Structure 1
Amino acid sequence: MKKTGKILILTVLAASLAGGGYWFVKQRAAQDPEKRYRTAELARGNVTQAVSANGTLNPVVLVSVGTQVSGTVRKLHVDFNDKVKAGQALLELDDALVSATARQSAASITSAQASLDLAVANEARMKALFAEEYVSKQEYDQAAQVLRSARAQLAQAQAQHARDQANLGYTVIRSPVDGVVIDRVVDLGQTVAASFQTPTLIKIAQDLSEMRIDTSFAEADIGAIREGQKAKFTVDAFPDRQFDGVVQQIRLNPVTQQNVVTYNVRISVANPDQILLPGMTAYVTIGVRQRENVLLVPNAALRFKPAESAPAAPAGAGAGGPPSAGAGGAKGRARAGQGATVHVLESGQLKAVPVQLGITDSRNTELVSGELAEGARIVVGENGGPAKAPSSVGMRMF
């Protein structure tokens, strides 16, 4: 029994020593900067700063066809996606009431014409009698006045008939442009009422080979956007394809929502294959600044902060910049013209270097100034979790 107990104690002691040795070796390896930190070489390249927003694809010309007269839809000549020509009949309204009104005004013309003929004859007769002094000047003037009134009534009846004829023609709704029907609001048998606001019956896109994107950019980004700048965008229907556009117009009318001011930016888009459809959501990116062949700092290096505080000069010292907000700041990246601190490995030691930054994209930031040269090993992260300092308390045995 005693021998067995000794063997058990020796076995546990050997296992403990082996575990402690493994732990000690691992801690030593974790403290080695060459193995602990992940690095990237400072290299030259191109960087483009961009602003992004969401927008909606719309036809360049979208015509809402309405009606000027009320009635019931009697015939439908077109449907969704039909191509139409200018002047082509789209639908017809029941013209019974309008036709009856037109016939009534035509009869009024006939009556006014008869009254005019009688007034002409009376005026001619009174003129002859007045010349022979058989009637007074007053009676002649009255006959002349009746003639003028009859002519005015005829003109009024003709104008009323012309209006009724126009309304009769309006019962046939025709396309004002060549295009494609993208929306039909009414159905056969539906009654439409034209009052102070003209109801929309059909929407026609004039040309789908040219589209536009209406999007809104925040006031913080609008100062860098100019007409003629190139834009790129994607749509959910084709996630693996990128489309091109051009900034066409920056509208001066601001829109304020929840204390955020935005401006509408219209982007013209070529759609020769007509695969982009009205109403699609576009994710637009506009490149506003570009630098070529400059030193690029990975944005991961700006977010990196060592677990233990490393001695460093104040960020921006010697580079004319303010204290760093880019290395581990809340936004995770520095803005153009801002000072920051990056860490490099030199001779196996971690060193903090203040730098001045330029424009940035989602991956890299331009290095404007700082004591860094091309090829410097910049720390971008740690290979594992932060290593703890070795404990001063000895390992306790049983």
Structure 2
Amino acid sequence: MTSHPLRLLLPAVACVSLLGCGEDDVVTQAPRPALVVQPFVAVAGSESYPGEVRARLEPPLAFRIPGKVSKRLVEEGQRVKANQPLAELDPQDVRLQLQANRAQVAAAQANLALVGAERDRYQKLLDRQMVSRSQYDNAENLYRAGLARLSQAKAEFDVAGNQADYAVLRAPQDGVIARRQIEVGQVVAAGQTVFNLAVDGEREVQISLPEQQYARFAIGQPVSVELWSQPNARYEGCIRELSPAADPQSRTFAARIAFAGQAPAQLGQSARVFIGAGSTTTLSLPLAAVSAEQGQRYVWRVTPQNRLQRVNVQLGAYGSDSVPVLEGIAAGDWIVAAGGHVLREGQQVRPVDRSNRTVDLAGKE
């Protein structure tokens, strides 16, 4: 019975001892390691854009009259010569119209012969003073009207003849059928595009520029082009044309790249266009080094005293594994490469490289 108070006293003494230790000893936490990198230098404006080799001239071809397609004489991708027939419309209606106009010409000729003979007869009677001058003038007016009607009928006959020729669509120049948009039996309207012709001659590369970077480019800006079939060759060129309006679906701006010289580019080939390569340089960082908060992008810079400093930055176009930094950092800065979302301003860190070796930033300054 005497040991019971002693058993209660021992835990209390132990607790007091532990509290005393917490007050005397200050527990210090070691700085956490932080993987750091320095910005690497890249050529400014070296963005690349995929494109397709196109013909410089690609006129849409259409019938000049409406009708039903009776024949399609070429296929997509087929090479054609100038004046070669491409498609035909059902000629029945235009032939009937041509026959009607031919009959009108014959009727106008017969009417002219009649009123001409009538005028000649009135001329003789007028010479004998057997008819009045007004009667002769009336006959003369009928003759002139007959002449005008014949002229009109001949013009309508010529138009009908042209309409018959328009029933056959012909290639205006040598080239390749880039696109076909009709089938036999289809009814087309006048002016409706039925073929796209890629005219022989100069070749260009068509690319699409993102909306946020459109203002950086201008007509005449030098570029270089790499064809997928020749990955080790670059061909100089320039921006020849920039679309003034964005595509309503992709929200990108179309651009045409002209080659500065001869290039072995074939229609439909894939290409990559490098725009803005020059002597100016920019700094780039790994994508994981960049964080964002409320629309503001920033990085963590490590000071020579191994403390973190938040720096707002302005970025360029994102790449697959890196991003150019246009403003905010210098070439000699050390930047935390990853894990920026768990860091805080002024935090003490231990800089390490990718081999987990401590980096002496003060010594490298």
Asked if TM exceeds 0.5, the reply is yes
Does the CA-based 8 Å contact 1:47-1:366 persist in structure 2? Answer: no
Alpha-carbon shift at residue 163 of structure 1 (Å): 1.3
TM-score, L = length of structure 2: 0.65
TM-score, L = length of structure 1: 0.60
Equivalent residues in 2 for 1:292-371, closer than 5 Å: 292=281, 296=283, 299-300=285-286, 328-330=291-293, 341-343=300-302, 350-352=306-308, 362=319, 363=322
Q: Distance in 2 between matches of 1:377 and 1:194?
A: 67
Going from structure 1 to structure 2, the CA distance change for 1:288 and 1:222 (only over 3 Å counts) comes to farther
Partner of 1:191: 185
Alpha-carbon shift at residue 121 of structure 1 (Å): 2.2
- Pair 1:108 & 2:104 matched: yes
Tell me how large the CA RMSD over aligned residues is: 4.5
Q: Distance in 2 between matches of 1:354 and 1:367?
A: 16
Going from structure 1 to structure 2, the CA distance change for 1:242 and 1:351 (only over 3 Å counts) comes to farther
> Which residue identity is paired with 2:124?
A
Going from structure 1 to structure 2, the CA distance change for 1:62 and 1:213 (only over 3 Å counts) comes to same
Q: Distance in 2 between matches of 1:365 and 1:184?
A: 43
Going from structure 1 to structure 2, the CA distance change for 1:241 and 1:267 (only over 3 Å counts) comes to farther
Going from structure 1 to structure 2, the CA distance change for 1:267 and 1:242 (only over 3 Å counts) comes to farther
- Pair 1:170 & 2:166 matched: yes
> Which residue identity is paired with 2:302?
H
Q: Distance in 2 between matches of 1:373 and 1:160?
A: 79
Alpha-carbon shift at residue 51 of structure 1 (Å): 6.3
> Which residue identity is paired with 1:154?
L
Greater shift after overlay, 101-110 or 208-217? 208-217
SS of 2:216's partner is: coil
Deviations 1:247-287 (A, max 9, x none): 23334446777xx9x56342324494344518x7x776643
> Which residue identity is paired with 1:191?
G
Alpha-carbon shift at residue 147 of structure 1 (Å): 0.3
Alpha-carbon shift at residue 166 of structure 1 (Å): 0.7
Partner of 2:268: 277
Q: Distance in 1 between matches of 2:140 and 2:185?
A: 49
Equivalent residues in 2 for 1:181-260, closer than 5 Å: 181-187=177-183, 190-195=184-189, 197-207=190-200, 209-213=202-206, 215-218=208-211, 220-231=212-223, 246-253=238-245
Alpha-carbon shift at residue 136 of structure 1 (Å): 1.0
SS of 1:100's partner is: helix
Alpha-carbon shift at residue 217 of structure 1 (Å): 3.0
Alpha-carbon shift at residue 41 of structure 1 (Å): 5.4
Q: Distance in 1 between matches of 2:244 and 2:103?
A: 56
- Pair 1:132 & 2:131 matched: no
Deviations 1:126-166 (A, max 9, x none): 12211221111121111111101111111121012111111
Going from structure 1 to structure 2, the CA distance change for 1:288 and 1:41 (only over 3 Å counts) comes to closer
> Which residue identity is paired with 1:299?
L
Alpha-carbon shift at residue 58 of structure 1 (Å): 4.9
Q: Aligned pairs, how many?
A: 309
Q: Distance in 2 between matches of 1:41 and 1:72?
A: 69
Alpha-carbon shift at residue 210 of structure 1 (Å): 1.3
Q: Distance in 2 between matches of 1:367 and 1:169?
A: 62
Partner of 1:66: 62
Partner of 1:291: 280
Q: Which runs of 5+ in 1 are unaligned?
A: 1-29, 305-325, 385-398
- Pair 1:179 & 2:175 matched: yes
Equivalent residues in 2 for 1:33-52, closer than 5 Å: 36-40=33-37, 45-49=41-45
